[in-house]
Protein backbone atom coordinates (compact mmCIF):
# COMPACT_ATOMS: atom_id res chain seq x y z
CA UNK A 1 0.00 0.00 0.00
CA UNK A 2 1.30 3.46 -0.86
CA UNK A 3 2.44 5.68 2.00
CA UNK A 4 -0.11 8.34 1.07
CA UNK A 5 -2.92 5.76 1.29
CA UNK A 6 -1.71 4.66 4.76
CA UNK A 7 -1.70 8.27 5.93
CA UNK A 8 -5.19 8.74 4.49
CA UNK A 9 -6.45 5.77 6.51
CA UNK A 10 -4.97 7.26 9.67
CA UNK A 11 -6.65 10.66 9.28
CA UNK A 12 -9.55 11.46 11.59
CA UNK A 13 -12.98 11.62 9.95
CA UNK A 14 -13.22 15.41 10.24
CA UNK A 15 -9.93 15.95 8.41
CA UNK A 16 -10.88 13.46 5.72
CA UNK A 17 -14.12 15.36 5.19
CA UNK A 18 -12.12 18.56 4.70
CA UNK A 19 -10.08 16.79 2.04
CA UNK A 20 -13.32 15.67 0.38
CA UNK A 21 -14.49 19.28 0.31
CA UNK A 22 -11.16 20.25 -1.28
CA UNK A 23 -11.65 17.54 -3.93
CA UNK A 24 -15.02 18.99 -4.87
CA UNK A 25 -13.48 22.39 -5.49
CA UNK A 26 -10.15 21.33 -6.99
CA UNK A 27 -9.82 18.80 -9.79
CA UNK A 28 -6.19 18.20 -8.82
CA UNK A 29 -7.19 17.38 -5.25
CA UNK A 30 -9.98 15.14 -6.59
CA UNK A 31 -7.42 13.18 -8.62
CA UNK A 32 -5.02 12.93 -5.67
CA UNK A 33 -7.75 11.56 -3.41
CA UNK A 34 -8.80 9.05 -6.09
CA UNK A 35 -5.25 7.78 -6.64
CA UNK A 36 -2.64 9.31 -4.37
CA UNK A 37 0.06 6.94 -5.57
CA UNK A 38 -0.22 8.25 -9.14
CA UNK A 39 -1.18 11.91 -8.69
CA UNK A 40 1.79 13.15 -6.71
CA UNK A 41 3.30 16.59 -6.29
CA UNK A 42 6.52 15.16 -7.73
CA UNK A 43 4.72 14.88 -11.08
CA UNK A 44 4.07 18.54 -11.95
CA UNK A 45 2.96 17.76 -15.52
CA UNK A 46 -0.13 16.07 -14.07
CA UNK A 47 -0.94 19.07 -11.91
CA UNK A 48 -0.55 21.36 -14.93
CA UNK A 49 -2.90 19.12 -16.91
CA UNK A 50 -5.48 19.08 -14.12
CA UNK A 51 -5.28 22.81 -13.48
CA UNK A 52 -5.57 23.56 -17.22
CA UNK A 53 -8.68 21.38 -17.57
CA UNK A 54 -10.30 22.98 -14.53
CA UNK A 55 -9.52 26.49 -15.82
CA UNK A 56 -11.05 25.54 -19.18
CA UNK A 57 -14.25 24.27 -17.53
CA UNK A 58 -14.55 27.27 -15.24
CA UNK A 59 -13.93 29.81 -18.01
CA UNK A 60 -10.59 31.03 -16.60
CA UNK A 61 -8.41 29.81 -19.47
CA UNK A 62 -7.55 32.60 -21.90
CA UNK A 63 -7.07 31.96 -25.62
CA UNK A 64 -4.40 33.70 -27.74
CA UNK A 65 -7.02 36.23 -28.91
CA UNK A 66 -7.50 37.39 -25.31
CA UNK A 67 -10.98 35.87 -24.98
CA UNK A 68 -12.17 33.02 -22.80
CA UNK A 69 -10.84 29.79 -24.32
CA UNK A 70 -13.27 27.07 -25.35
CA UNK A 71 -10.80 24.99 -27.39
CA UNK A 72 -7.96 22.96 -25.88
CA UNK A 73 -5.47 20.61 -27.59
CA UNK A 74 -3.57 18.16 -25.37
CA UNK A 75 -0.54 16.08 -26.37
CA UNK A 76 1.23 13.90 -23.84
CA UNK A 77 3.74 11.03 -24.16
CA UNK A 78 2.41 7.46 -23.75
CA UNK A 79 1.77 6.24 -20.19
CA UNK A 80 1.90 9.71 -18.70
CA UNK A 81 -1.70 9.81 -17.52
CA UNK A 82 -3.65 11.72 -20.14
CA UNK A 83 -6.44 9.15 -20.74
CA UNK A 84 -6.83 8.35 -17.03
CA UNK A 85 -6.98 12.06 -16.21
CA UNK A 86 -9.59 12.67 -18.90
CA UNK A 87 -11.82 9.93 -17.40
CA UNK A 88 -11.56 11.54 -13.97
CA UNK A 89 -12.20 14.96 -15.50
CA UNK A 90 -15.48 13.70 -16.97
CA UNK A 91 -16.49 12.36 -13.55
CA UNK A 92 -15.52 15.55 -11.72
CA UNK A 93 -17.39 17.80 -14.17
CA UNK A 94 -20.55 15.69 -13.92
CA UNK A 95 -20.28 15.77 -10.14
CA UNK A 96 -20.07 19.56 -10.25
CA UNK A 97 -22.91 19.88 -12.76
CA UNK A 98 -24.98 16.81 -13.65
CA UNK A 99 -26.67 18.70 -16.50
CA UNK A 100 -23.43 18.78 -18.51
CA UNK A 101 -23.55 16.68 -21.69
CA UNK A 102 -20.54 14.85 -23.10
CA UNK A 103 -19.83 13.39 -26.52
CA UNK A 104 -16.63 11.34 -26.70
CA UNK A 105 -15.20 10.55 -30.16
CA UNK A 106 -12.35 8.14 -30.88
CA UNK A 107 -10.95 6.52 -34.00
CA UNK A 108 -13.09 3.43 -33.45
CA UNK A 109 -16.21 2.47 -31.53
CA UNK A 110 -14.60 0.03 -29.08
CA UNK A 111 -12.07 2.60 -27.84
CA UNK A 112 -14.78 5.22 -27.33
CA UNK A 113 -17.05 2.78 -25.50
CA UNK A 114 -14.16 1.72 -23.25
CA UNK A 115 -13.75 5.38 -22.27
CA UNK A 116 -17.49 5.78 -21.64
CA UNK A 117 -17.55 2.64 -19.51
CA UNK A 118 -14.63 3.86 -17.41
CA UNK A 119 -16.45 7.11 -16.66
CA UNK A 120 -19.71 5.32 -15.91
CA UNK A 121 -18.02 2.75 -13.66
CA UNK A 122 -16.23 5.52 -11.79
CA UNK A 123 -19.51 7.29 -11.05
CA UNK A 124 -21.20 4.02 -10.02
CA UNK A 125 -18.35 2.77 -7.81
CA UNK A 126 -19.41 1.41 -4.44
CA UNK A 127 -17.30 2.06 -1.33
CA UNK A 128 -16.55 -1.21 0.42
CA UNK A 129 -13.90 -0.01 2.86
CA UNK A 130 -15.25 2.95 4.88
CA UNK A 131 -11.76 4.40 5.13
CA UNK A 132 -11.57 4.98 1.37
CA UNK A 133 -13.52 7.45 -0.77
CA UNK A 134 -15.34 7.00 -4.07
CA UNK A 135 -17.25 9.35 -6.38
CA UNK A 136 -20.41 9.29 -4.25
CA UNK A 137 -18.44 10.62 -1.27
CA UNK A 138 -17.48 13.70 -3.22
CA UNK A 139 -20.81 14.15 -5.00
CA UNK A 140 -23.63 12.41 -3.15
CA UNK A 141 -26.90 12.21 -5.04
CA UNK A 142 -25.29 12.09 -8.50
CA UNK A 143 -26.21 8.68 -9.90
CA UNK A 144 -26.61 6.84 -13.18
CA UNK A 145 -30.25 6.77 -14.25
CA UNK A 146 -31.93 3.42 -13.59
CA UNK A 147 -32.48 1.41 -16.75
CA UNK A 148 -29.61 2.99 -18.70
CA UNK A 149 -27.74 -0.24 -19.39
CA UNK A 150 -25.98 0.90 -22.54
CA UNK A 151 -22.29 1.61 -22.24
CA UNK A 152 -22.23 3.99 -25.21
CA UNK A 153 -25.28 6.11 -24.34
CA UNK A 154 -26.37 6.82 -20.80
CA UNK A 155 -27.74 9.52 -18.52
CA UNK A 156 -27.58 10.68 -14.93
CA UNK A 157 -30.71 10.93 -12.82
CA UNK A 158 -32.42 14.21 -13.60
CA UNK A 159 -30.94 14.47 -17.10
CA UNK A 160 -32.37 13.17 -20.38
CA UNK A 161 -28.89 12.74 -21.86
CA UNK A 162 -25.41 12.75 -20.31
CA UNK A 163 -22.88 10.74 -22.30
CA UNK A 164 -22.52 9.46 -25.86
CA UNK A 165 -19.56 7.41 -27.09
CA UNK A 166 -19.07 7.40 -30.84
CA UNK A 167 -16.39 7.08 -33.52
CA UNK A 168 -15.29 8.85 -36.68
CA UNK A 169 -17.68 8.20 -39.54
CA UNK A 170 -20.61 7.29 -37.29
CA UNK A 171 -23.97 9.01 -37.48
CA UNK A 172 -24.53 11.48 -34.63
CA UNK A 173 -28.12 12.71 -34.64
CA UNK A 174 -30.60 13.93 -32.08
CA UNK A 175 -28.12 15.05 -29.42
CA UNK A 176 -25.88 17.98 -28.72
CA UNK A 177 -23.21 18.42 -26.10
CA UNK A 178 -21.74 21.05 -23.84
CA UNK A 179 -18.35 19.31 -23.86
CA UNK A 180 -16.91 17.26 -26.71
CA UNK A 181 -13.77 15.19 -26.18
CA UNK A 182 -12.00 13.89 -29.27
CA UNK A 183 -9.57 11.28 -28.01
CA UNK A 184 -7.07 9.52 -30.31
CA UNK A 185 -8.68 10.41 -33.67
CA UNK A 186 -5.76 8.80 -35.57
CA UNK A 187 -5.22 5.08 -35.14
CA UNK A 188 -1.58 4.74 -36.17
CA UNK A 189 1.14 5.86 -38.56
CA UNK A 190 -0.64 4.26 -41.52
CA UNK A 191 -3.56 6.65 -41.10
CA UNK A 192 -1.18 9.52 -40.36
CA UNK A 193 0.58 8.99 -43.70
CA UNK A 194 -2.68 8.89 -45.65
CA UNK A 195 -3.70 12.40 -46.70
CA UNK A 196 -7.11 11.15 -47.82
CA UNK A 197 -7.85 9.69 -44.38
CA UNK A 198 -6.76 12.92 -42.71
CA UNK A 199 -9.02 14.92 -45.02
CA UNK A 200 -11.94 12.61 -44.26
CA UNK A 201 -11.49 13.11 -40.51
CA UNK A 202 -11.36 16.87 -40.95
CA UNK A 203 -14.45 16.80 -43.17
CA UNK A 204 -16.28 14.61 -40.63
CA UNK A 205 -15.54 17.13 -37.89
CA UNK A 206 -16.71 20.08 -40.00
CA UNK A 207 -19.79 18.36 -41.44
CA UNK A 208 -20.95 16.38 -38.40
CA UNK A 209 -19.21 16.95 -35.09
CA UNK A 210 -18.97 20.74 -35.11
CA UNK A 211 -22.75 21.11 -35.27
CA UNK A 212 -23.14 18.86 -32.19
CA UNK A 213 -21.28 21.33 -29.94
CA UNK A 214 -23.79 23.71 -28.37
CA UNK A 215 -23.22 27.46 -28.36
CA UNK A 216 -20.52 28.23 -25.83
CA UNK A 217 -19.57 24.57 -25.62
CA UNK A 218 -16.09 23.21 -25.00
CA UNK A 219 -13.98 21.14 -27.41
CA UNK A 220 -11.00 19.14 -26.14
CA UNK A 221 -8.75 17.21 -28.52
CA UNK A 222 -6.39 14.69 -26.93
CA UNK A 223 -4.01 13.13 -29.42
CA UNK A 224 -0.52 12.25 -30.52
CA UNK A 225 0.63 14.85 -33.04
CA UNK A 226 1.07 12.46 -35.94
CA UNK A 227 0.91 14.83 -38.89
CA UNK A 228 0.75 18.50 -39.78
CA UNK A 229 -2.63 17.84 -41.42
CA UNK A 230 -4.15 16.05 -38.43
CA UNK A 231 -7.09 17.58 -36.56
CA UNK A 232 -4.99 19.74 -34.27
CA UNK A 233 -2.90 20.87 -37.22
CA UNK A 234 -6.02 21.88 -39.14
CA UNK A 235 -7.51 23.67 -36.12
CA UNK A 236 -4.30 25.62 -35.59
CA UNK A 237 -4.14 26.45 -39.28
CA UNK A 238 -7.70 27.75 -39.48
CA UNK A 239 -8.32 29.20 -35.99
CA UNK A 240 -4.97 29.60 -34.19
CA UNK A 241 -6.24 32.48 -32.10
CA UNK A 242 -8.94 30.34 -30.45
CA UNK A 243 -6.84 27.36 -29.38
CA UNK A 244 -4.81 26.78 -26.26
CA UNK A 245 -2.24 24.00 -26.59
CA UNK A 246 -0.78 21.85 -23.82
CA UNK A 247 2.09 19.94 -25.42
CA UNK A 248 4.36 17.94 -23.13
CA UNK A 249 7.40 16.16 -24.57
CA UNK A 250 8.85 13.13 -22.80
CA UNK A 251 12.37 14.57 -22.88
CA UNK A 252 12.65 18.29 -22.17
CA UNK A 253 16.42 18.58 -22.68
CA UNK A 254 18.35 15.70 -24.20
CA UNK A 255 21.79 17.18 -23.57
CA UNK A 256 21.03 17.75 -19.89
CA UNK A 257 19.07 14.46 -19.58
CA UNK A 258 16.01 16.34 -18.30
CA UNK A 259 12.80 14.31 -18.53
CA UNK A 260 9.19 15.42 -18.18
CA UNK A 261 8.59 12.83 -15.46
CA UNK A 262 11.51 10.52 -14.66
CA UNK A 263 9.27 8.53 -12.33
CA UNK A 264 7.24 7.43 -15.36
CA UNK A 265 10.00 7.38 -17.99
CA UNK A 266 13.71 7.63 -17.25
CA UNK A 267 16.23 9.12 -19.64
CA UNK A 268 17.86 5.71 -20.14
CA UNK A 269 14.51 4.11 -21.02
CA UNK A 270 13.74 7.01 -23.35
CA UNK A 271 17.08 6.50 -25.12
CA UNK A 272 16.43 2.77 -25.43
CA UNK A 273 13.06 3.41 -27.07
CA UNK A 274 14.68 5.93 -29.38
CA UNK A 275 17.18 3.33 -30.59
CA UNK A 276 14.57 0.63 -31.10
CA UNK A 277 11.87 2.68 -32.86
CA UNK A 278 11.92 4.32 -36.27
CA UNK A 279 12.81 7.98 -35.95
CA UNK A 280 9.54 9.51 -37.14
CA UNK A 281 7.35 7.22 -35.00
CA UNK A 282 9.45 7.86 -31.92
CA UNK A 283 9.39 11.64 -32.45
CA UNK A 284 5.60 11.62 -32.87
CA UNK A 285 4.89 9.43 -29.84
CA UNK A 286 7.38 10.74 -27.32
CA UNK A 287 8.24 14.25 -28.50
CA UNK A 288 4.93 15.18 -30.16
CA UNK A 289 6.63 16.22 -33.38
CA UNK A 290 4.30 15.62 -36.33
CA UNK A 291 5.40 13.26 -39.06
CA UNK A 292 6.14 15.58 -41.95
CA UNK A 293 7.96 15.58 -45.26
CA UNK A 294 11.15 16.74 -43.58
CA UNK A 295 13.59 13.84 -43.55
CA UNK A 296 11.57 11.59 -45.84
CA UNK A 297 13.24 10.21 -48.92
CA UNK A 298 10.09 10.34 -51.04
CA UNK A 299 8.52 13.78 -50.76
CA UNK A 300 5.75 13.08 -53.26
CA UNK A 301 4.26 10.27 -55.34
CA UNK A 302 2.70 10.38 -58.79
CA UNK A 303 -0.88 9.08 -58.83
CA UNK A 304 -3.36 8.00 -61.49
CA UNK A 305 -7.13 7.59 -61.55
CA UNK A 306 -7.17 5.29 -64.58
CA UNK A 307 -4.64 3.83 -66.98
CA UNK A 308 -3.71 6.07 -69.95
CA UNK A 309 -5.83 6.07 -73.09
CA UNK A 310 -5.09 7.11 -76.68
CA UNK A 311 -6.79 9.90 -78.62
CA UNK A 312 -9.78 7.64 -79.28
CA UNK A 313 -10.23 6.93 -75.60
CA UNK A 314 -8.99 3.34 -75.86
CA UNK A 315 -6.78 2.14 -73.00
CA UNK A 316 -3.17 1.93 -74.08
CA UNK A 317 -1.63 -1.52 -74.05
CA UNK A 318 1.45 -1.70 -71.89
CA UNK A 319 4.06 -4.31 -71.11
CA UNK A 320 3.02 -6.12 -67.92
CA UNK A 321 5.95 -6.71 -65.58
CA UNK A 322 6.63 -7.53 -61.93
CA UNK A 323 9.51 -7.30 -59.52
CA UNK A 324 9.77 -9.43 -56.35
CA UNK A 325 12.10 -9.12 -53.39
CA UNK A 326 11.92 -12.19 -51.16
CA UNK A 327 12.26 -11.67 -47.42
CA UNK A 328 15.92 -11.69 -46.35
CA UNK A 329 15.16 -12.67 -42.76
CA UNK A 330 12.18 -13.68 -40.69
CA UNK A 331 11.62 -10.04 -39.72
CA UNK A 332 11.60 -8.80 -43.32
CA UNK A 333 8.69 -8.46 -45.71
CA UNK A 334 8.29 -10.19 -49.05
CA UNK A 335 7.31 -7.58 -51.60
CA UNK A 336 6.03 -8.03 -55.15
CA UNK A 337 4.98 -5.09 -57.33
CA UNK A 338 3.09 -5.55 -60.59
CA UNK A 339 2.97 -2.73 -63.12
CA UNK A 340 1.97 -1.84 -66.67
CA UNK A 341 4.81 -0.09 -68.51
CA UNK A 342 3.27 2.58 -70.74
CA UNK A 343 5.28 5.29 -72.49
CA UNK A 344 8.30 4.51 -70.33
CA UNK A 345 6.49 4.88 -67.02
CA UNK A 346 5.31 2.21 -64.61
CA UNK A 347 1.65 2.16 -63.55
CA UNK A 348 1.40 -0.01 -60.43
CA UNK A 349 -1.63 -2.31 -60.60
CA UNK A 350 -1.02 -4.74 -57.74
CA UNK A 351 1.17 -5.18 -54.67
CA UNK A 352 1.87 -8.09 -52.35
CA UNK A 353 3.54 -7.00 -49.12
CA UNK A 354 3.59 -9.53 -46.30
CA UNK A 355 5.74 -11.17 -43.65
CA UNK A 356 4.09 -14.57 -44.10
CA UNK A 357 6.43 -17.58 -44.66
CA UNK A 358 7.44 -18.78 -48.14
CA UNK A 359 4.97 -21.67 -48.19
CA UNK A 360 2.26 -19.00 -48.25
CA UNK A 361 3.94 -16.29 -50.32
CA UNK A 362 5.08 -18.58 -53.17
CA UNK A 363 1.54 -19.56 -54.28
CA UNK A 364 0.36 -16.02 -53.49
CA UNK A 365 2.92 -14.46 -55.84
CA UNK A 366 2.12 -17.07 -58.53
CA UNK A 367 -1.57 -16.16 -58.32
CA UNK A 368 -0.72 -12.44 -58.46
CA UNK A 369 1.41 -12.91 -61.59
CA UNK A 370 -1.31 -15.01 -63.21
CA UNK A 371 -4.16 -12.61 -62.38
CA UNK A 372 -2.07 -9.64 -63.51
CA UNK A 373 -1.26 -11.33 -66.84
CA UNK A 374 2.40 -10.57 -66.18
CA UNK A 375 4.70 -11.19 -69.13
CA UNK A 376 8.09 -10.62 -67.49
CA UNK A 377 8.98 -11.00 -63.80
CA UNK A 378 12.23 -10.54 -61.95
CA UNK A 379 12.70 -12.35 -58.63
CA UNK A 380 15.82 -11.56 -56.62
CA UNK A 381 17.74 -14.78 -55.98
CA UNK A 382 19.51 -13.63 -52.82
CA UNK A 383 18.80 -15.57 -49.61
CA UNK A 384 16.76 -18.39 -51.08
CA UNK A 385 15.24 -16.33 -53.87
CA UNK A 386 16.32 -18.81 -56.54
CA UNK A 387 14.31 -21.57 -54.90
CA UNK A 388 11.44 -19.11 -54.47
CA UNK A 389 11.50 -18.34 -58.20
CA UNK A 390 11.60 -22.03 -59.06
CA UNK A 391 8.59 -22.76 -56.85
CA UNK A 392 6.62 -19.82 -58.27
CA UNK A 393 7.21 -21.22 -61.77
CA UNK A 394 5.97 -24.61 -60.59
CA UNK A 395 2.81 -23.08 -59.09
CA UNK A 396 2.10 -21.17 -62.31
CA UNK A 397 2.28 -24.36 -64.33
CA UNK A 398 0.73 -26.89 -61.93
CA UNK A 399 -2.05 -24.68 -60.55
CA UNK A 400 -2.83 -22.33 -63.43
CA UNK A 401 -1.35 -24.28 -66.36
CA UNK A 402 0.32 -21.08 -67.49
CA UNK A 403 3.69 -20.49 -69.11
CA UNK A 404 2.88 -16.90 -70.06
CA UNK A 405 5.23 -15.33 -67.46
CA UNK A 406 8.96 -15.36 -68.14
CA UNK A 407 10.72 -15.35 -64.77
CA UNK A 408 14.29 -14.14 -64.36
CA UNK A 409 16.12 -14.70 -61.09
CA UNK A 410 18.65 -12.01 -60.22
CA UNK A 411 21.46 -12.08 -57.66
CA UNK A 412 21.49 -8.52 -56.31
CA UNK A 413 24.96 -7.48 -55.13
CA UNK A 414 24.81 -3.70 -55.35
CA UNK A 415 24.47 -1.64 -52.17
CA UNK A 416 20.80 -1.48 -51.29
CA UNK A 417 20.77 1.96 -49.67
CA UNK A 418 22.73 3.55 -52.51
CA UNK A 419 20.37 2.07 -55.10
CA UNK A 420 17.31 3.34 -53.23
CA UNK A 421 18.73 6.84 -52.91
CA UNK A 422 19.91 7.05 -56.53
CA UNK A 423 16.57 5.99 -58.01
CA UNK A 424 14.35 7.98 -55.62
CA UNK A 425 13.68 10.84 -58.04
CA UNK A 426 12.74 8.46 -60.86
CA UNK A 427 10.44 6.51 -58.52
CA UNK A 428 8.66 9.68 -57.40
CA UNK A 429 7.99 10.94 -60.92
CA UNK A 430 7.72 7.83 -63.06
CA UNK A 431 6.29 5.09 -60.85
CA UNK A 432 2.59 5.91 -60.66
CA UNK A 433 0.28 4.52 -57.99
CA UNK A 434 -3.54 4.28 -57.93
CA UNK A 435 -5.13 7.25 -56.18
CA UNK A 436 -6.42 4.94 -53.42
CA UNK A 437 -3.20 2.98 -52.91
CA UNK A 438 -3.13 3.86 -49.21
CA UNK A 439 -6.39 1.94 -48.78
CA UNK A 440 -5.47 -0.95 -51.07
CA UNK A 441 -2.05 -1.66 -49.59
CA UNK A 442 -1.81 0.21 -46.26
CA UNK A 443 1.35 -1.42 -44.91
CA UNK A 444 3.18 -1.02 -48.21
CA UNK A 445 1.94 2.58 -48.40
CA UNK A 446 3.22 3.37 -44.90
CA UNK A 447 6.57 1.74 -45.62
CA UNK A 448 7.02 3.88 -48.75
CA UNK A 449 5.91 7.27 -47.47
CA UNK A 450 7.63 6.81 -44.11
CA UNK A 451 11.04 5.80 -45.45
CA UNK A 452 13.63 8.24 -44.12
CA UNK A 453 16.61 9.49 -46.10
CA UNK A 454 18.74 9.27 -42.97
CA UNK A 455 18.25 7.50 -39.69
CA UNK A 456 16.80 4.19 -38.67
CA UNK A 457 14.15 2.65 -40.90
CA UNK A 458 12.14 -0.24 -39.54
CA UNK A 459 11.96 -1.92 -42.97
CA UNK A 460 13.38 -1.15 -46.41
CA UNK A 461 11.70 -3.96 -48.37
CA UNK A 462 9.07 -1.74 -50.01
CA UNK A 463 11.45 0.99 -51.32
CA UNK A 464 13.99 -1.69 -52.28
CA UNK A 465 11.40 -3.46 -54.45
CA UNK A 466 10.16 -0.18 -55.93
CA UNK A 467 13.77 0.63 -56.79
CA UNK A 468 14.24 -2.77 -58.43
CA UNK A 469 11.10 -2.21 -60.49
CA UNK A 470 12.36 1.24 -61.53
CA UNK A 471 15.66 -0.26 -62.67
CA UNK A 472 13.84 -3.05 -64.50
CA UNK A 473 11.68 -0.53 -66.40
CA UNK A 474 14.65 1.64 -67.36
CA UNK A 475 17.25 -0.99 -68.17
CA UNK A 476 15.41 -4.29 -68.61
CA UNK A 477 16.07 -7.59 -66.85
CA UNK A 478 19.10 -8.59 -68.97
CA UNK A 479 20.90 -5.25 -69.00
CA UNK A 480 20.00 -4.75 -65.34
CA UNK A 481 21.82 -8.00 -64.58
CA UNK A 482 24.94 -6.43 -66.10
CA UNK A 483 24.74 -3.00 -64.61
CA UNK A 484 23.50 -3.83 -61.11
CA UNK A 485 24.97 -7.23 -60.24
CA UNK A 486 28.49 -5.97 -59.64
CA UNK A 487 29.79 -7.29 -62.97
CA UNK A 488 29.78 -3.90 -64.61
CA UNK A 489 29.54 -0.23 -63.81
CA UNK A 490 26.25 1.58 -63.98
CA UNK A 491 25.89 4.10 -66.76
pLDDT in tens, the chain (491 residues): 454 444 444 445 555 678 889 999 999 999 999 899 999 999 999 999 999 999 999 999 999 999 999 999 999 999 999 999 999 999 999 999 999 999 999 998 888 999 999 999 999 988 776 666 789 989 998 999 987 767 889 999 999 899 999 999 888 888 899 999 999 898 887 788 777 888 999 999 999 999 999 999 999 999 988 888 899 999 998 999 999 999 999 999 999 999 999 999 999 999 999 988 877 788 889 998 887 666 788 988 999 999 998 888 888 989 999 999 987 555 689 999 999 999 999 999 999 999 998 899 999 999 999 999 999 999 987 766 678 999 999 999 999 999 999 999 887 767 788 899 999 999 999 999 998 898 899 889 988 988 888 766 778 999 999 999 999 999 886 544 433 333 333 33
Q: Quick check: 284 and 232 in contact, CB under 8 A?
A: no
pLDDT in tens, 390-425: 999 999 999 999 999 999 988 776 778 889 999 999
CA of residue 346 relative to chain centroid, distance: 30
Q: Which CATH class is domain 303-484?
A: alpha beta
Give the model confidence (pLDDT) of 233-269 as tens digits.
Answer: 999 989 999 999 999 999 999 999 999 999 999 999 9
Q: CA-CA distance, 112 to 133, in Å (whole number)?
A: 27
Cα torsion angle, 235, 240, 245, 250, sign: positive
Asked if domains 3-287 and 303-484 share a fold, the reply is no
The ranges assigned to domains in the chain are 3-287, 303-484
Architecture of the CATH domain 3-287: 3-Layer(aba) Sandwich (3.40)
| pTM, two decimal places | 0.72
> What is the DSSP track for 14-56?
HHHHHHHHHHHH-HHHHHHHH-TTTS-TT-HHHHHHHHHHHHH
CA distances from 418 to 410, 413, 422, 425 (A): 18, 12, 6, 13
Amino acid sequence: MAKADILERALPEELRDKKIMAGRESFWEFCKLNNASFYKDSRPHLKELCDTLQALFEGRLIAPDGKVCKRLAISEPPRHGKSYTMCLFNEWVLGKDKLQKFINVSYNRSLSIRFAKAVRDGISATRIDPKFRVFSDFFPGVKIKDGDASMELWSLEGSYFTFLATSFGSTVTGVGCSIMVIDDPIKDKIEAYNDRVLEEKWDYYRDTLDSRIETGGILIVVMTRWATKDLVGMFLKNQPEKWCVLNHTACKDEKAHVMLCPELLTFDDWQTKKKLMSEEIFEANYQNKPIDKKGRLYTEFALYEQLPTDAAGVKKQGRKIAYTDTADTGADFMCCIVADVIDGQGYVTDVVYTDEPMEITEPLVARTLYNGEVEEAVIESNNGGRGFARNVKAHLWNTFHSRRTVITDLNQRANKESRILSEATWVMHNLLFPADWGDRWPRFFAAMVGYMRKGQNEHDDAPDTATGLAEFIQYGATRRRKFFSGKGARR
